[in-house]
Chain A
Amino acid sequence: MTHPKSANVLDARYLEPPEPFVKTMEMLATLKAGESMLLLLFREPHPLYRILLQDGYRYRTEMLDDGTFEILISR
């Protein structure tokens, strides 16, 4: 799945916890320096934000009309 914002997209909107977290960490581990990934969720993942900041990632979140949060993560 690709998206104008990033080539690496994880659509975790209909996944049960803890799958969104586990899959996000898996995808992050595959990113090379300068690459990004886009996480789609129906909520803002505040605990993930903390981990991202601790691990030196940057993120930008946008809420869409259908309630999807697009979280663009890069390092």
Chain B
Amino acid sequence: MQALLSFEQAPPLNAPLRFFLTAPLFGVIAGLLLLLEGEGVLLSRWSPSALALTHLLTLGFMLQIMIGALIQVLPVVAGANLKHPRFLAQLVHATLSLGALLLAAGFVFAINPALHAGAALLVFSVGFFLLSAIRALHGVPSSSPTIRGIKLALFGLFGTVLLGVFLLVALRQGTTFSLVALTELHAGWGLGAWSAVLLAAVAYVVVPMFQLTPGYPARPAWWFSIGMTGLLVLWSLAVWLDVDLLIRLAKGLLALSGMAFCALTLRLQSRRRRAKSDATSRYWKLGMISTFLALSMMLTAAISPALGGLEAWSFCFAVLLIAGGIFSFMIGMLYKIVPFLAWLHLQYLGKGQVTAPTMNKLLPDSAMQRQFYAHQCGIVLLFLAAVFPEWGARLAGLGLMLSLLWLEFNLLAVVRRYRNFASEIAGSLVPG
């Protein structure tokens, strides 16, 4: 497995794990919010509870996992070594977690100081991570679509935070720009220029490696990250110049680019050489189909904007893209990364004398499969809640909580088994 990760360059096990184990808890809090507040959360996407829910999911779950994963894989997929990974992980994790909680609390309870303190912590957290990542990538040539994608994704993250801060200032002091247009742009940068570009960059490596599919063809792989980032810049210019037709054009082209990526990945998956599908490939397949459906809604709304204005339409789109799409990719990856890291560290502890247990012993496929059913039920319930918030919202909150608690349980089981095996290995090593 050294081909996947060289141990000397690997950060300590708890550096990425602290992010991976915290992320599902934010999803549980989001589910709890939906359970307690019910339909009120889903009546308008601009309601304080809806904004809190969105940020608990995007900052607390998604950003948490993406930063944790980047700390782990930057040396492997880009040959870029972060300085002091343990300290970086501790600081970024603490400020990101507290910042996301304060921001969400600030929205729900309308406490401005909490909102502003949360935002300040988040700016610090992301800013510190960005500077560390840029320093690690400095001098690393963009020799593959993955490295170029990661660099552009970091630019996307910068754009997202910048727009978030601008929105907060605009809410306080007013602006000549449309707040709706700015908020959509902020979401566009976060989901398109950051999340989609990063996921694609990582997919180029992990889909062929773990699912034994053919590789992504070079030309589209090189151009996807540039195209997505360029379209977000176009969208921003269009908001700046207040040209609605250009905004719709950028959104439509973004949707088409994302759909092409999903279709290509599904085609590669259909040609995989691994006979048996595992939890990760099932999660990724679901993610690709759900994202494709979400993006076809985005394309339709770009053509007929009246649809995009409907609350139910926006919530259905968000459920398919975030819960069905991005969450599925991330959980699928967690199910590969967490057992693998535990295995790798056990292998190291064995010092060549004791062989580490297989990854299946650290997390059996059946445990992941059962949680996958809960995840699918959660998506269906969220989708129903988007259409029928009156009776569906609380049930969907419960579904979200259950699915992510189960994920947390599975991940903690890996940690427990890791500890047991580690003490067994320590006991059977020959001294000296």
For residue B74, which residue of chain A has the nearest CB? A46
CA distance A67 to B77 in the complex (A): 15
Measured in the bound complex, the distance between the Cα atoms of B147 and A61 in whole Å is 14
Query: Which residue on chain A has the smallest CB distance to residue B77?
Result: A46
* Residues of B1-43 contacting chain A, CB below 8 A: 1-6, 8-9
B409 to chain A, nearest CB (A): 27
- A17-B144 in contact (CB<8A): no
B146 lies within 8 A of A44 (CB): yes
CA A30 to CA B212, docked complex, whole Å: 27
Verify if A58 is at the interface (C-beta below 8 Å from B). Answer: no
Residue B163 lies at the interface, judged by CB distance under 8 Å to chain A: no
Would you call A67 and B3 a contact (CB within 8 A)? no
- Complex CA–CA separation, A45 to B205 (angstroms): 10
How many residue pairs, one in A and one in B, have C-beta atoms under 8 Å apart?
A: 85
Count, chain A residues at interface, CB 8 A:
26
- Chain A residues 37-75 with CB under 8 Å of chain B are 42-51, 61, 63-69
Cβ–Cβ contact B4 & A17, under 8 A: yes
- A residues in contact with B5, CB < 8 Å: 47
Instruction: State whether B6 touches A18 (Cβ < 8 A).
Output: no
User: Which chain A residues lie closer than 8 Å to B79 at the CB level?
Assistant: 44, 46, 49-50
A51 adjacent to B6 (CB under 8 Å): yes
Specify which chain A residues have a CB less than 8 angstroms from the CB of B256 in the assembled complex.
none
Contacts of A5-19 to chain B: CB distance below 8 A? 13-14, 16-18
Judging by beta carbons under 8 Å apart, are B2 and A18 in contact? yes
* A63-B144 contact, Cβ under 8 Å, with A17-B1, A18-B2, A68-B215: yes
Complex formed: what's the CA distance from A45 to B144 in Å?
A: 11
Q: Which of B204, B209, B221 contacts A17 (CB 8 A)?
A: B209
Do B3 and A17 have beta carbons less than 8 Å apart? yes
8 A Cβ contacts from B138-163 to A:
143-144, 146
Are B218 and A66 touching (Cβ within 8 A)? yes
Q: Is the pair A66, B215 in contact by a Cβ cutoff of 8 Å? A: yes
Nearest Cβ in chain A — how far from B279, in angstroms? Answer: 16
Q: How far is the CA of A63 from the CA of B216 in the complex (A)?
A: 11
For the complex, give the distance between the alpha carbons of A61 and B77 in Å: 15
A67 and B1 form a contact (CB under 8 A): no
Contact A18 B4 (CB under 8 A): yes
Residues on B with C-beta less than 8 A from A17 are 1, 3-4, 209
Measured CB to CB, the nearest residue on chain B to A40 is B215
Known contacts A21-B2, A46-B75; A14 and B218 CB within 8 A of each other:
no
Among the listed A16, A47, A69, which residue makes an inter-chain contact with B6, where contact means beta carbons less than 8 Å apart? A47
Interface check B214, CB cutoff 8 A: yes
Q: A47, B215: Cβ atoms under 8 Å? A: no
- In the complex, the answer to whether B76 meets A46 with C-beta atoms within 8 Å is yes
Residues on the B chain within 8 Å of A68, using CB: 215
Does B208 interact with chain A (Cβ within 8 Å)? yes
Chain A nearest Cβ from B33, distance in angstroms: 40
A50 near B6 with CB under 8 A, answer yes
Interface code A20-41, partner B: CB below 8 Å = 1, 0 otherwise? 1100100000000000000000
With a cutoff of 8 Å between Cβ atoms, the chain A residues found around residue B205 in the complex are 42-43
Q: Return chain B residues, CB-CB under 8 Å to A24.
A: 3
Contact of A42 with B77 at beta-carbon distance under 8 Å, contacts A18-B3, A21-B3, A64-B218 already known: no
Q: Point out the residue from B144, B212, B216, B273 that lies within 8 Å of A44, measured CB to CB.
A: B144
Provide a sorted-by-A list of 6 A–B residue pairs whose CB atoms are within 8 angstroms.
A16-B212, A17-B3, A46-B79, A51-B2, A63-B218, A68-B215
- Interface residues of chain A, those whose CB is within 8 Å of chain B, are 13-14, 16-18, 20-21, 24, 42-51, 61, 63-69
Known pairs A66-B215, A66-B218 / 14 extra A-B pairs, C-beta < 8 Å: A13-B208, A17-B3, A18-B2, A42-B205, A42-B209, A43-B208, A45-B3, A47-B5, A49-B79, A50-B79, A63-B144, A66-B214, A67-B215, A67-B216
Chain B residues in the interface with A (C-beta under 8 A) = 1-6, 8-9, 75-79, 143-144, 146, 204-205, 208-209, 212, 214-219, 221, 273-274
